[in-house]
Amino acid sequence: MSVVVAYKWAGDPQEASVGADGSVDFGRARPGISEYDAVAIQVGRNLADALGSALVGVCVGAAGAGAPVATKAALARGLDRVLVVADDSLATLGTAGTAQVLSALVGQVGDAQLVLAGDCSTDVGARMVPAVLGGTLGWATVTDAASVRADGAGVVVERTLAEGAQTLRLALPAVVAVASDAAKPQAPGMKDVLGAGKKPADVIAAAPLTPVGDGETLSAARAAAPARKGVVITGDAATAAGELVGALRAAGLLDKAGTGR
């Protein structure tokens, strides 16, 4: 059996530049594997070692995701091999399309019984790919897992939700998205980095199916940052505090206490 981890090769939107016409250019943003995906790979590594399984990474992205520097970076984190679909036409694949192509890759792994994913991606952050992936595969799916362990023919997941702490047992096959603190990822060591080039990386240049589109873009714009007053209040703590309280009171903000439960 193989344990699969879905990962992304993407840049941080904070480093992207947005044109006046709303177009987003990631050119100056160095792509990488996010800290969330690194956690998922670490959880996968721990599970694969416990089960004596292979750990396979799957990834969909622009051409850069298939470049050796990207596949080696992923392999250096602890994957045994990677399957990547990389083509620039896939750079703007939406959530649903990404999940579809990933599910096809999971099918290609053949003996996959468990797919792990990170909490969210750095660039899009929709937190929906694991759910759609699970739905496409027809596998039991849960998210926000704080821990995952193998148990007989299933996995036991622990997580903390707003309503309390839960322990779940899932029958395999399953898709589990892990919380950002489910494991502390080990930074790749020298041997991992130098050995990464020897592990298999299968890069496919075209999606194995026609994925679902993401709608027709009618227009784009830079995010309208709400106009902020930018009133600077300086001075010693007592004076500044007094001035702020006065301003908030004048704006009627100090009588609206309380929460709407």
CB of 14 to other proteins, least distance (A): 4
Q: CB-wise, 55 or 74, nearer to other proteins?
A: 74
Give the single-character DSSP code of 13: G
Q: CB-wise, 171 or 206, nearer to other proteins?
A: 171
Whole-number Å distance between alpha carbons of 168 and 159: 8
CB of 54 to other proteins, least distance (A): 22
255: CB partners within 8 A, 6+ apart? none
CB of 246 to other proteins, least distance (A): 9
CB of 125 to other proteins, least distance (A): 5
**Six-digit token pair at 129?**
């790919």
Q: CB-wise, 111 or 169, nearer to other proteins?
A: 169
Whole-number Å distance between alpha carbons of 104 and 156: 26
Q: CB-wise, 192 or 202, nearer to other proteins?
A: 192
* Cβ atoms of 79 and 41 closer than 8 Å: yes
CB of 179 to other proteins, least distance (A): 7
HSE (CB half, 13 Å, CA atoms) of 29?
19
Q: CB-wise, 110 or 257, nearer to other proteins?
A: 257
Three-state SS sequence of 125-151: CCCCHHHHHHHHHCCEEEEEECEEEEE
* Other residues' Cβ atoms within 10 Å of the Cβ of residue 108: 15
